[in-house]
Each structure stands twice: as structure tokens, then as C-alpha cells.
Structure 1
Amino acid sequence: MSAPPASDAGPIPAPDAGPIPAPDAGPISNAAATAPTPAPPRTPDKALEPSAGRTAKAAARGGGHPVRLRALDGLRLLAALMVAAYHYGGRDGEITQAWGSSPRTQFPTLSSYFAYGCLGVQIFFVISGFVICMSGWGRPLRSFFASRVSRLYPAYWVAIILVTGVFALPWVAYKAVSPSDALVNLTMLQQPLGVDRVLGVCWTLWAELRFYALFALFVVLPGATRHRVVLFCAVWTLGSAFAEASNLPLLDVVLMPEYSSYFIGGMGIYLLHRFGHDALAWGIIGISFLIGQHYAIRELWHPANVDAFSYRSATAIIAVVAFGYAAVTLIALGKLNWANWRWLTVAGALTYPFYLVHEHLGWVAVWAFHQKLGIPSYGTFALTVLVMLGLAWVLYRYVEQRLTPMIKRSLTTVRL
């Protein structure tokens, strides 16, 4: 159970802040044409500060230059490692078969902390709201569609083939899905169609697809503006509340009230990044956090119970969700620009393929390292993560870097 890609694998360009008009200095005389005299400086009225002024502030933080938000890449990797820790040591299920016993036995102290790793999904969704708002700004619908398809599908297709092939091996104890179901999985629509999933983590990709569709329809298609994004966030928030109250399955599927607040929060954070401090943007972020922590606790908290794998504290759940919102906000405001190490770019590129392969292939790796080779639990855990990161690098280098540009180019130039 993990989360999907948040941005293109290449550098994440900050949005173009657009030209910033200089103040009108009034008419210029003929004499002044040969010896121009600068106009006296004006004192801006902060209460009536134009949007161009806010955009200038965003540009000073990096909002007007094509910079790589490397701290965001690092946060994505951290969220992916949180989810991996949850899958390897924070729950029961198939991983118990891989270890030969419950992860509570393998990690008697850390398993209770690993259980919070599933909240990496919520952090991913906040990041996704931020990055999709950034990448969709000023982009035509065809280009937005091409970027999303070329980003999501190449590594996903290979991960489906890899997991299906490995699970079909006679010495692997895990059951592969039927050939027909595996083919449906290639569409990424297996969950709404009621088909068995090849990848357990793909449920978050279904949430991402719905977010992309809503954002494309209501923001990208008419043209992204601050007003339109604010209106979209407000309407989606209210619509999600109506969906929860109405108990209509169709509204739940379309508006996904249990996840929408995280995407909305990410979009609010992007408004801060692009336009600077703004009461409406802060309001969007605050309301989305208040709603998001509610759903996180509703889905993940349970009373202490000897029959349950773990007991998660409600306070700790709120703290982890708050950390995700705060981290993305600090990055958006330029407070973490000091984290500008080049290796974070590679980390961000590996996050999506790692996310796709780490769970099911991780079961096989844990079984081989721990039960067959006798490597201790902590060594197996670390080695499995490293092997999955290595496989992610192979997918990034030889699949994404080759197929993503080709697919994007083909979809961008295709005749409608």
C-alpha cells in the first residue's frame, strides 16, 4: 500500500511567473529621451498589492526560474521508504510467509513504528497535489495528458510483467493472477473493473488517475489561474463533504472524499509557492489538513487490541500527517532550498519505480535472503530495500528514460 508518482522523472520546473510589469513612470519628454531620469520610487500599498508583486516574491523564492525542488525529491523518497517499512515490518499478511513468522517477532521494537509507514501514502498525495498543479499550469490539455501517460505507464507496464512472471515461477509461493486479469491490469483500470490486482500498491494509482481527470477537466482545459484553482479546491472540498453525507457510491468514486483533502492541500501549498502568502491559500491548506487528519484516523486508528497487529496512537497519526503538510509547505516557501544535493534528483527519479516493485518482489527477496540464505532480520530488511532501489534504477535508466520521451512525443504530435 503505497503511493504513486508525483511528478515527471526529469527536473521539476518551477512555474513561469510571467513578465512583471514595471510601474508606469508617466510620459517622457523629448529632453528626457536623451537623458532619462528615473521615476521616483513608489511605496506599494500592501493591502492592495497586485498579483504581479506576489509573483515577484514567488520568483525570488525560485518560483520564476526553472529550478529543481530537490528537497521535494528527498521527501518523496522518504515517503516511499516509510511505505516499504510498513510493507516489510509494519503489518501481517503475505510478508509473514516471507519472514516465516510475524514481523512483530522479527522486529519486536520497530514493528510498532513501522506500522505508521502507511501514512507515506497521505504524504505522497499532498506532494502530488502540489506537483500536478505546478506541471499543469499554462499547459494545454493534450500536453498535460501526454505528460501524465508517459510518466505513469512505462515503468508500470514493466512492473506488471515482472511481478506476473516472478509469481508464475514454480518455486515462488505466491499465486499469480490469471492471464486475462494480468492483461486488464495493463490498463490501470483493474480496480474499478473488479479485476484481481497484480500490484497491491496500484489502488493509489486509481486515486491519482481520478485526481488527474478532475484537474484536467476543471483547471487545465479552461486554463489554470489562481482564481480557478481556488474555486476548484473550494468546490471539491464541499463536493467531498456532500458525497460523504449522501452515501451515494458514484459520488464516492468520482470525488473520493477520503483522499481529496490531501490533493487539495497540495494545490493550496502550490498557490503559496507561486503567489506568496495569501489568506485563501492558507485557508485551503488548513481546512484540508483538518479534514485529512480525520480520514487518516478513521481509516488507521483502532483501540489497543491483543488480536490486532499494531496499535496506532491517534496523536501520532495526526503528527505524521502534519509533518507531511509542513514539509511540503516549507519546501514551497523556499525554506529547504539548502537541501540542494544532486543525489536527491536521482532519489526522486527512483521513487516511482521503487514504489511499484518493492512490495510483491520484496516478499520474494525477504524469503530468499532470510529463509534460504539465513541472513538476520535487520540485514534482510536493509538488503531488500537496496535490491529494490537497484531494480528501480534499472527501470528508470532503461525503461523510463527511453520510453517516456518517445511516448510523450508521440502523444503530443498525434492528430485528433
Structure 2
Amino acid sequence: MTLSDTALIPAGTGDTTAAPGPGAGTGAGTGTKQGRGGQRLYALDGLRLLAALSVLFFHYLSRGGEASDAWGQPSREILPSVTPFTDYGWLGVEFFFLISGFVICMSAWGRGLGQFFRSRITRLYPAYWAAIVLLSVATAVFPVLAHRPDVHRVLLNLTMLHEPLGTPAVSGVFWSLWVELRFYLLFALVVWRGVTYRSTVAFCCLWTVGTVITHAANDRLLNNLLVPTYSAYFIAGIGFYLIHRFGSHAMAWGIVGVSWLIAQETVLAETERFSKIIHADLSGGVASAVVTACFVVMAGVALGWFRHLNWRRLTFAGTLTYPLYLVHESLGHLMIYGLHDHLSPATTVAATTVAMLVLAWLLHVLAEKPLARRLKRTLERPLPSSGIGRRANAQPPS
């Protein structure tokens, strides 16, 4: 082993194989099952729900479009005292990506490529399919805020490949799933080679360099492949997991630090974009501060600041997050449309939020869990043999 090899590995990690470690074995549920020492990282479950709620309130009280149509007036005028906070709720998606980098690295440790893809498919698609069916039916029955989606559009949405093919999404929030899918495909290269400290660090460094080159070249192919607007969050999440698993080390902290610097740059451009979307003068300084706070919180998770936060109800919060994210926008706006003439704005928002949480739980219990079990059993079945080998070795007929 050369000096350059050992420089990548913290002392005492023994990172010579991709054997399962304490971060392996994460199920297809919340994706936050175990951390160092086999302890469940309950804090991540709570943080994911917090991120989802921040996006929810942004869509209900700050975002125009469907939100304004639902209220019958500009949504930012409904509760103006809270809009200085909800205006930055879109940053919850960036926080999702930061957590995702941590969780995916943790859940992929010690897994093969087949296990990795099976776990991601059973995690992403069951709730997503159920949400598309529910949203399509709701839009068909109550076409007041959106047009009825045609069959081709719905079917293509089921694949989660509608965005690169230029087909409109059934719900606006689905755009982030294509970002997640590209991260999974990129990280699959690490899983294919074997997830070790060295391979993970090399992946982070190469992706960071690719991100910088993409920004400089402004190449469409690289931009679609390397996701430069959000890559820093995934990379930082991976760096935080390396710190959590192996302890503080200059290389892992360097990955996090460079990713934070890149995120500070990309979030400024995103702030300008969202200023135009919601017709408000958003502050790049505030957005940068929020992103920095997200990094600090994840540093706390990595360093074990929240290890005593073992409220088991946070696990329940984690199960609600994904279904809530999928259905809150379209169905929430539909509910606001029906309630706002009869209730006060604050009561309407509160009732809609509670209803979406209950719906998320029902979606998880009645659709996501049973579908995930069936899909998992299907994917774990051995592939049928072609029989070519048997025919080649068979004795010729007498």
C-alpha cells in the first residue's frame, strides 16, 4: 500500500474489504435504521419530517400557481406574518438531499449491487405508484385546480422517467425524484466496486471535480448526468456519514467543507430563481444561513450530538415523510380550495396539514407496506434459467 493509499484511510479503520459494518442492514422503511454501534439514528427520522413540513408550508403559503388558485388570491397574502419564514421552505428539499447522501451511503455499506437496487426500488416505487393513482383519481373527480391527466401521461409517470422524456409530472413535487434517481445511479458505481472508505472518498472527489467542470463548461450532457445544482448536498451527506462511521478525519471534513462552499454558491442562484417564482425579494444571505444551519445539524448527527434522542415516535414520523411529500401539494391545495371560504386561514392550513399527515399514514399502511413486501418478494426471485447450458451438455439422441 502506497502513501497515497494510506492517506485516504483514517487510522484504525481497517478498510480493506467491503464487509458489512454497523451501518449496513438498513431496511427499506425509513432508511435510518442503524448508525455506529448498531444504534438507530432517530434524529434523522425527525429531521426528514421537518424538511417535508417546511416544503409543505412553502407550497401552501408562499408558492403561487395552484396555491393562489386554491386560496382565490395570492397565497403570500393569506398569513403575511409567517411568509418571511415559509418563503424559504423550498430549502427543505436541499436538506432532503443532504440527509439522502448520509442515508444512502449508510444503507449501501456491505451490500451488493443487486441488493442496493432492490432496496432503492422497494423504497421509492410503492408509495409513488399509490400516490399517482390517488392523485389521478382526485384530479379526474375534482378537476378544479388542474386538468385531468391523460392515460399516457399517468403511465409514463409510473416509471419515474417522465421528466427526462419531457412529459409533465402528475404532481409538481415529483421533480426531485429524478434528481434522487440520478444520485442512486451514480452511487451504484461505488456499490459495484465495493463500498469502502477509499472508494467512497474517491467517488466524492471525482463527483466534486465533475461538478466544478460542469459549472465551468455549461455542458448540457454533463449537467443532466452530474446534477451540479444539488450534487454538493449528496456529497456532503456522504462525507458526514464517513465521519459518523470512522470518526473525524481531515479527508472527510475536507469533502464536507468543499461541498459547503459549492452549496453556498449554488443556493444563491436558486434563491434568485425562487424569487421570480414567488414574486418576492428573497435574501441570498438568509438562504445561505439556512443551508449552513442544515450542515451544522448534520455535523451534529455525524458526531453523535443527538445519540440520546431515542424517541421511538420519531420512527413513526419517518414513515410519514415520503408519502406526505408525494401527496401534500396537489391534494392539499384541493382541500384548501374547499375549506378556505368556511374557515379562517390559520385553521384551514392547520386542518389541511393534519389531514395530509393522516393521509400519509393511511398511504403508508394500506399501500406502501403491502406493495413493498410484494415487490421485494418479486425482485428476490431467482431469474429463470434459459436452459442453453443444459441443451449444450445434453447427450445426442440415440
Q: Same fold (TM over 0.5)?
A: yes
CA contact (8 A) 1:98 1:366 kept: yes
The Cα shift of 1:314 comes to: 1.5
Q: 2:102 aligns with which of 130, 141, 155?
A: 130
Superposition CA RMSD, Å: 2.1
The structure-2 alpha-carbon separation of the partners of 1:168 and 1:206, relative to structure 1 and needing over 3 Å to count, comes to same
Partner of 2:136: 164
The structure-2 alpha-carbon separation of the partners of 1:236 and 1:302, relative to structure 1 and needing over 3 Å to count, comes to closer
Q: Secondary structure at the match of 1:411?
A: helix
Q: 2:244 aligns with which of 273, 291, 304?
A: 273
The Cα shift of 1:174 comes to: 2.0
Once residues 274 and 71 of structure 2 are traced to their aligned partners in structure 1, the CA distance between those partners, rounded to angstroms, is 27
CA deviation map 1:236-256 (0-9, x unaligned)? 010111112222211111001
CA deviation map 1:84-104 (0-9, x unaligned)? 011000121111111111122
Partner of 1:318: 288
Once residues 132 and 351 of structure 1 are traced to their aligned partners in structure 2, the CA distance between those partners, rounded to angstroms, is 16
The structure-2 alpha-carbon separation of the partners of 1:171 and 1:282, relative to structure 1 and needing over 3 Å to count, comes to closer
Task: Determine whether 1:342 maps to 2:342.
Answer: no
Segments of 5+ residues of structure 2 without an aligned counterpart are 1-8, 16-20, 23-33, 385-398
Q: Secondary structure at the match of 1:73?
A: helix
Partner AA of 1:51 in structure 2: T
Alignment of 1:100-115 (within 5 A): 100-115=72-87
Q: 1:209 aligns with which of 154, 160, 181?
A: 181
Q: 1:407 aligns with which of 367, 375, 380?
A: 375
CA contact (8 A) 1:236 1:255 kept: yes
205-214 or 319-328, larger mean C-alpha shift: 319-328
Partner AA of 2:233 in structure 1: Y
276-285 or 106-115, larger mean C-alpha shift: 106-115
The structure-2 alpha-carbon separation of the partners of 1:376 and 1:230, relative to structure 1 and needing over 3 Å to count, comes to same
CA contact (8 A) 1:354 1:392 kept: yes
Q: 1:144 aligns with which of 116, 120, 125?
A: 116
Partner AA of 1:215 in structure 2: F
Task: Determine whether 1:153 maps to 2:125.
Answer: yes
390-399 or 240-249, larger mean C-alpha shift: 240-249
The Cα shift of 1:401 comes to: 1.7
Q: 1:235 aligns with which of 197, 206, 223?
A: 206
Partner of 1:50: 12
The structure-2 alpha-carbon separation of the partners of 1:48 and 1:194, relative to structure 1 and needing over 3 Å to count, comes to closer
Task: Determine whether 1:259 maps to 2:230.
Answer: yes
CA contact (8 A) 1:142 1:412 kept: no
Percent identity over paired residues: 46
The structure-2 alpha-carbon separation of the partners of 1:303 and 1:48, relative to structure 1 and needing over 3 Å to count, comes to closer
Once residues 246 and 48 of structure 1 are traced to their aligned partners in structure 2, the CA distance between those partners, rounded to angstroms, is 34
144-153 or 104-113, larger mean C-alpha shift: 104-113
The structure-2 alpha-carbon separation of the partners of 1:94 and 1:173, relative to structure 1 and needing over 3 Å to count, comes to closer
Partner AA of 1:355 in structure 2: Y
Once residues 132 and 278 of structure 2 are traced to their aligned partners in structure 1, the CA distance between those partners, rounded to angstroms, is 31
Once residues 412 and 320 of structure 1 are traced to their aligned partners in structure 2, the CA distance between those partners, rounded to angstroms, is 42
Q: Secondary structure at the match of 1:154?
A: helix
Segments of 5+ residues of structure 1 without an aligned counterpart are 1-46
Partner AA of 2:243 in structure 1: L
The structure-2 alpha-carbon separation of the partners of 1:308 and 1:358, relative to structure 1 and needing over 3 Å to count, comes to closer
Task: Determine whether 1:398 maps to 2:366.
Answer: yes
Partner of 1:295: 266
CA contact (8 A) 1:176 1:198 kept: no
Partner of 1:193: 165
The structure-2 alpha-carbon separation of the partners of 1:116 and 1:170, relative to structure 1 and needing over 3 Å to count, comes to closer
Once residues 248 and 171 of structure 1 are traced to their aligned partners in structure 2, the CA distance between those partners, rounded to angstroms, is 39
Partner of 1:94: 66
Once residues 330 and 239 of structure 1 are traced to their aligned partners in structure 2, the CA distance between those partners, rounded to angstroms, is 28
CA contact (8 A) 1:103 1:111 kept: no
CA deviation map 1:292-324 (0-9, x unaligned)? 12111111137999x963222112101111111
CA deviation map 1:340-363 (0-9, x unaligned)? 111100000100000000000011
The structure-2 alpha-carbon separation of the partners of 1:195 and 1:51, relative to structure 1 and needing over 3 Å to count, comes to same
Once residues 219 and 259 of structure 1 are traced to their aligned partners in structure 2, the CA distance between those partners, rounded to angstroms, is 19
Once residues 303 and 209 of structure 1 are traced to their aligned partners in structure 2, the CA distance between those partners, rounded to angstroms, is 23
Q: 2:93 aligns with which of 104, 116, 121?
A: 121
Partner of 2:355: 387
Larger radius of gyration: 1
Partner of 1:67: 39
Task: Determine whether 1:176 maps to 2:148.
Answer: yes
CA deviation map 1:52-92 (0-9, x unaligned)? 59xxxx97xx8443322111111001000000011000121
